[in-house]
Amino acid sequence: MQADAIWQGGGIATMVPELGRYGAIEDGAVATGNGRIVWVGRRTDLPAALIGPATIHHDIDRGWLTPGLIDCHTHLVFAGDRSAEFEARLGGISYQDAAKSGRGILSTMAATRAATEAELIAIAGPRLQRLLADGVTTVEIKSGYGLSLSDELKMLRAARALGAAHGVRVRTTLLAAHAVPPEFAGRPDAYIDHIVNEILPAAASAGLADAVDAFAETIAFSPAQVSRVFNAARALGLPVKLHADQLADGNGAALAASHHALSADHLEYTSPAGVRAMAAAATVAVLLPGAYATVGATQPPPVASFRAHNVPMAVATDANPGSSPLLSLLTAMNLACCLFRLTPEEALAGVTRHAAAALGLADEIGTIAVGRAADLVVWPVNHPRELAYWMGALVPTSINISNQNYTAPHR
């Protein structure tokens, strides 16, 4: 078989753990066909039979090739902004008090409900381009600012349309259990009934949700309410994930693990028992340093304990208008190192291999291995640790998503 394309002329950070640090191949080559990786190894071992007259040659130019980066937790589709709330919080009011006083998630809900699907697509497009400019080839996008049947589906359709319009792999997550909307004020269980009986089945039958998420917190939903949503999701064959233990230890990590969640996210207050439960259930810990920094948190997640128990750690932007107006996954990697003390290698695994696992896509993306999608990024760096080192300075040389190649970066 002749390859459609070949990358050589530099290092390959495959992120395959069996290959050692960064899964590195110093002078490597990668061949692709039909949007998949068909060969990877040392350049000197590249079979001549793979090269044909139609094969396109990409030069790594003494830099490094990595898997396409994966932002596995975003709320990218929303209207309006919360810069006034940001200012108020810097003036002393807490994230929780902002939520209770009608700012918070419900103010974004009002703006998002008022926007049409086309408007949401237009507003979120530049945000997606900004992520893509960091070498992000897969983005998870949650609903959760509609909080009604029609508005949640509108958000999910907008997310799907964004992926198609920008050539990025998008995974959608239904987050109807994000806050109690005004129609159900004081009746959270009735809203959970509405999610379980109406919103979830409609999203599932329209094929609009790849997963289901919920916000477990005293300002959001209780473990019993989350469990009802998760049981309904799993009955429909949808995997689950959870916003857990962000502002206090609510036993969220163990709750997520008890439902075999793909991931539990935030986790600043997760207890040792929660870590052990996640390890047993192979639930990925998604760390969100942008939210930690923005809400002014002071207790970092239990990274040493995740490490000791082999809980895979992913890193994501949590891009959203309230707790994390962050649209750079490279910056999230840097923050994960500086604020949470991840190593640069852990940060890169966190936006590749472990982020893929957090989306249930470990066999599809996140490593450079035969059979995986040809999502590849060339970086002008001397070592892959530089991806986590630079702060707002690194621009990919080229980005390949499956069959599409973007040699001019989108910045």
Q: Which residues bind Fe ion (CB under 5 A)?
A: 318
Minimum distance of Fe ion from residue 265's CB (angstroms): 6
User: Considering only residues 291, 361, 373, 394, which one is a binding residue for ligand NIG as defined by CB under 6 A?
Assistant: 291
- Please tell me whether residue 105 binds ligand NIG under the rule CB under 6 A: yes
Q: Which residues between 181 and 220 bind ligand NIG (CB under 6 A)?
A: 215
C-alpha span between 331 and 337 (Å, rounded): 10
User: Distance between CA atoms of 41 and 29, rounded to whole angstroms?
Assistant: 6
Q: Which residues pair with 7 in a beta bridge?
A: 30, 58
DSSP 3-state of 143? coil
By beta-carbon proximity to ligand NIG, the closer residue of 323 and 367 is: 323
Q: Record the tokens describing residue 188, joined without a space.
A: 């959270």
Residue nearest to ligand NIG (CB): 322
List the one residue from 8, 32, 143, 246 that touches ligand NIG (CB under 6 A). Answer: 246
CB-nearer residue toward ligand NIG: 77 or 387:
77
320 lies in the site for ligand NIG, by CB under 6 A: yes
Q: Does 283 contact ligand NIG by CB under 6 A?
A: no
- Paired tokens of 219: 């300002």
DSSP secondary structure of 158-186: HHHHHHHHHT-EEEEEEEEETS--GGGTT
Of 248, 250, 243, 284, the closest CA to residue 266 belongs to 243
Is the Cβ of residue 320 or residue 334 nearer to ligand NIG in the bound state?
Answer: 320
Which C-beta is closer to Fe ion: that of 152 or that of 375? 152
CA angle 103, 108, 112 (to 5 degrees): 155
How far is residue 264's CA from residue 287's CA, in Å, rounded to a whole number? 9
Instruction: Report if residue 103 touches ligand NIG, rule: CB under 6 A.
Output: no
Q: Which of 252, 301, 322, 384 binds ligand NIG (CB under 6 A)?
A: 322
Please give the distance of CA 118 from its chain centroid, rounded to a whole number: 23
Structure tokens at 193: 């009934």
Task: Map tokens 């990024």 to a residue.
Answer: 377
- Residue 108's binding partner out of Fe ion, ligand NIG, none, with CB under 5 to 8 Å set by partner kind: ligand NIG
Question: Exposed/middle/buried for 403, CB within 10 Å: 0-12, 13-18, 19+?
Answer: middle
Side-chain-facing half-sphere of 163: CA atoms under 13 Å? 17
Residue 105 Cβ vs ligand NIG, minimum distance, rounded to whole Å: 5
Q: Whose Cβ is closer to Fe ion: residue 151's or residue 318's?
A: 318
Q: Kindly indicate which of the ranges 48-56, 130-138, 321-329, 352-360 contains the residues binding ligand NIG, using the contact rule CB under 6 A.
A: 321-329
Residue 318 engages ligand NIG in binding (rule: CB under 6 A) = yes
Q: Is residue 243 a contact point for ligand NIG (CB under 6 A)?
A: yes
Smallest separation (angstroms) from ligand NIG to the CB of 100: 12
In the complex with ligand NIG, which residue's Cβ is closer, 324 or 402?
324
Phi-psi map region of 365: left, alpha, beta (phi>0 left; psi -120 to 50 alpha): beta
Span near ligand NIG by CB under 6 A; candidates 161-169, 230-238, 251-259, 322-330: 322-330
Q: Which of Fe ion, ligand NIG, none sits in contact with 305, Cβ below 5 to 8 A by type?
A: none
**CB of residue 300 to ligand NIG, shortest distance in Å:** 16
Query: Which residue from 9, 274, 302, 321 is in contact with ligand NIG, where contact means CB under 6 A?
Result: 321
Alpha-helix residue ranges (DSSP H) falling in 133-244:
149-166, 188-194, 200-205, 223-235
Helix (H, G, I), strand (E, B) or coil at 229: helix
Work out what residue 28 binds among ligand NIG, Fe ion, none; the CB cut-off runs from 5 to 8 Å by kind: none
Asked if 118 and 99 count as a contact pair (C-beta separation under 8 A), the reply is no
Contact 375, 400 (CB under 8 A): yes
Longest CA–CA separation in the chain, Å? 69
Q: Is 241 in the site for ligand NIG (CB under 6 A)?
A: no
Distance between alpha carbon 267 and the CA centroid of its chain, in Å?
15
Span of 129-137, 199-207, 319-327, 375-383 interacting with ligand NIG by CB under 6 A: 319-327
**Sole binder of ligand NIG in the list 323, 331, 334, 402 (CB under 6 A):** 323
| Residues that bind ligand NIG in the complex, under the rule CB under 6 A | 104-105, 108, 215, 243, 246, 291, 318, 320-324
